Chains A and B, each alone.
Chain A
């Protein structure tokens, strides 16, 4: 039996397990929307800007642990997705983005709402497709999902010309995806595992450096087992937070530009760095030749091109992080002959040293009477949610304070645009997260600058009943840039004061949400408590110390040991 392209599209999505689509309609995809409205199994979340759809699909994917889906029309609908796609690409988030396209016979004619979105997104997708023949529609969608969710995950874009959607096709039942050469390596090489294990058992000053790969591959349990069994201190990248419990005594928190003093010092003095699903990003390494200069480096990553890209690796392991860590744990169990007391004794001096650094420069901030410190707000959010909320962030100071002070204990509990650093990511991502986990508390920690980049999604949250809580750390500045101007540009605050700002409380109300404000420290706790018991989207406007900075800070181009401290 033959069915329409639009029907086949919906049927194929259901087959791929899709239950939610974030999107925005338009002429090129109107046939799909016609079918979507008749389909009870797929929930469509109508956003107010296509960028919001992609970030929401990103947040949804991270919380659900599966592929997020966005659907937009051709032309501007498609170009509006680019930032979201690029962000998902940097953070390796599995996602399929469907864009409408003008009919095939018009492609290349500069038709109305035509854009070469496959060309535009080529460098920021894992792969992309233009479906030219109706019979390719279903196999292409299957391939897209397969590529998005396997190996190092990432966004895949499928461009759908209007005539392909409008065509009549026989739905191909054979679901098997055949790709000639795409075969990601999941299992580690046993020889490399043995080398890594021997290095780990020999190390006197080991550090585990865990990245987003730990979260993506669900390797947190294996990682925690390895660290606890051998008493190895753990530091995490921004994307890795939650991959190891942040409140565990072995956790040193985040490393890098705004990492903790002790994490950066420990990496600098380590004799073995075990990098797991991390990519030696410049925000982590600082000046590259001064990064972990005494350490032998073990690097586990499913993407071979991540290995030895920035830093020469001694023991490379190309594998899925979970599989590789499981293999390491099992090798150590079988052949390691680890005596717990002896292992503890061997690393005692190392732990003493780290404890000394921790004592010398703990993570902290200065209290100033009843003025609200942004870090205090994050600490209170942690306390009042028991550390169990899903936190999304915007980008800038708000993001770093969230990373430093929320102490994430679970993978998937921090949603942040880590690689691309997109202001405006947090709120739509929080909506996606709330859709994926309706019973969890979802909080977007935002700045007064970045929240305005996708503030229109308040309507989306209201329309689809997402009681997301937005905590604006309102300092009246584009705070991170201001901080750089303070430190490196002689306080020349060029274009960073936000002299005109909306009344966020009134704004929340205008959308039918709830607005709350705190201007004094004593008001912070009641405002959070009020927000947490409100079953509606809430903006908490925290008027915070205007010129508070994020510390520690490694100035750009400096070694990570050259930190500016509180």
Chain B
């Protein structure tokens, strides 16, 4: 099962490689990874998506906790959260399909960020499922290139 794991880290050189080294060394997979500074400049937030059964996810969480520079590990599947990913997709847009592409992008509330006579580059933001849906729809029209940020996720605030 796919899990989004959020890791707060000390913002120091080499810390990222401790995390990625842990994954490669223990044979866990990383499907996506996003990392940047948080409000506290001494802390970075790393969000990664991975897959595995409960025992593997438990090991991943525990092994991450064991790293001295790791401050907090949250399996976002276990909390209410907002998940976002951004993709820039370059899609073929020639005479017969230019309007169709724009319609699709509009439906998904995407934006055209680059235009050429034969293609559009469009920006799509949303949960990974939405990105997938856009890709599935655009694929028959002809996708030339995709760049994705990887998932980021934030726990929802408590309502009461």
Q: Which residue of B lies closest to A180 (CB)?
A: B71
Cβ of B58 within 8 Å of any chain A Cβ, yes or no, is yes
* Known A119-B17, A122-B18, A180-B10; contact A305-B68, beta-carbon cutoff 8 A: no
Cβ of B66 within 8 Å of any chain A Cβ, yes or no, is yes
**Contact across chains for B25 and A123 when beta carbons are under 8 A apart:** yes
Chain A contacts for B14, CB-based, 8 A? 118-119, 122, 130
Chain B contacts for A163, CB-based, 8 A? none
> Cα distance A435–B89 when bound, in Å?
66
Cβ of B59 within 8 Å of any chain A Cβ, yes or no, is yes
**Contact across chains for A305 and B18 when beta carbons are under 8 A apart:** no
**Contact across chains for A181 and B55 when beta carbons are under 8 A apart:** no
Interface size class of A (residues with CB under 8 A): 10 to 19
> Cα distance A303–B18 when bound, in Å?
18
Cβ of A202 within 8 Å of any chain B Cβ, yes or no, is no
> Cα distance A180–B72 when bound, in Å?
10
Cβ of B152 within 8 Å of any chain A Cβ, yes or no, is no
Chain A contacts for B66, CB-based, 8 A? 303-305
Contact of A309 among B17, B59, B71 (CB under 8 A): B59
| Count of A-B contacts judged by CB separation below 8 Å | 35
CB distance from B43 to the nearest CB of A (A): 9
CB distance from A140 to the nearest CB of B (A): 12
Contact of B62 among A118, A180, A304, A312 (CB under 8 A): A304
**Contact across chains for B55 and A308 when beta carbons are under 8 A apart:** yes
Cβ of A200 within 8 Å of any chain B Cβ, yes or no, is no
> Cα distance A123–B58 when bound, in Å?
20
CB distance from B92 to the nearest CB of A (A): 43
- A173-210 at interface with B (beta carbon < 8 Å): 179-182
**Contact across chains for A308 and B58 when beta carbons are under 8 A apart:** yes
Cβ of B142 within 8 Å of any chain A Cβ, yes or no, is no
**Contact across chains for A305 and B21 when beta carbons are under 8 A apart:** no
**Contact across chains for A179 and B68 when beta carbons are under 8 A apart:** yes
**Contact across chains for A127 and B55 when beta carbons are under 8 A apart:** no
Chain A contacts for B68, CB-based, 8 A? 126-127, 147, 179, 181-182
Please report whether the interface of chain B is mostly helix, strand, loop or mixed according to DSSP.
helix
CB distance from B38 to the nearest CB of A (A): 14
Interface size class of B (residues with CB under 8 A): 10 to 19
> Cα distance A312–B55 when bound, in Å?
9
**Contact across chains for B72 and A181 when beta carbons are under 8 A apart:** yes
Chain B contacts for A305, CB-based, 8 A? 59, 62-63, 65-66
Contact of B21 among A123, A127, A182, A304 (CB under 8 A): A123
Contact of B71 among A126, A181, A308, A312 (CB under 8 A): A181
Q: Which residue of A lies closest to B71 (CB)?
A: A181
- A141-167 at interface with B (beta carbon < 8 Å): 147
CB distance from A464 to the nearest CB of B (A): 34
Interface string of B1-33 (1 = CB under 8 A from A): 000000000100010011001100100000000
**Contact across chains for A122 and B59 when beta carbons are under 8 A apart:** no
**Contact across chains for A122 and B10 when beta carbons are under 8 A apart:** no
Q: Which residue of A lies closest to B24 (CB)?
A: A123
Interface string of A296-315 (1 = CB under 8 A from B): 00000001110011001000
CB distance from B119 to the nearest CB of A (A): 40
> Cα distance A469–B16 when bound, in Å?
47
> Cα distance A309–B59 when bound, in Å?
7
CB distance from B112 to the nearest CB of A (A): 42
> Cα distance A182–B25 when bound, in Å?
22
Chain B contacts for A127, CB-based, 8 A? 68
Chain A contacts for B71, CB-based, 8 A? 180-181
Chain B contacts for A179, CB-based, 8 A? 68
**Contact across chains for A304 and B10 when beta carbons are under 8 A apart:** no
Cβ of B70 within 8 Å of any chain A Cβ, yes or no, is yes
> Cα distance A277–B22 when bound, in Å?
23
> Cα distance A147–B67 when bound, in Å?
11
- B34-80 at interface with A (beta carbon < 8 Å): 55, 58-59, 62-63, 65-66, 68, 70-72
CB distance from B81 to the nearest CB of A (A): 22
Chain B contacts for A309, CB-based, 8 A? 59
Binding site for A on B (CB under 8 A): 10, 14, 17-18, 21-22, 25, 55, 58-59, 62-63, 65-66, 68, 70-72
**Can you list 10 pairs linking A and B with CB atoms under 8 Å apart?**
A123-B21, A123-B22, A127-B68, A130-B14, A180-B10, A180-B71, A182-B68, A304-B65, A305-B59, A308-B55
Given A126-B68, A303-B66, 4 other A-B contacts at CB below 8 A? A181-B71, A304-B62, A305-B66, A308-B58
Binding site for B on A (CB under 8 A): 118-119, 122-123, 126-127, 130, 147, 179-182, 303-305, 308-309, 312
In the A-B complex, the 10 residue pairs with the closest CB atoms? A305-B62, A127-B68, A181-B71, A123-B25, A304-B62, A305-B63, A182-B68, A305-B66, A122-B21, A123-B21
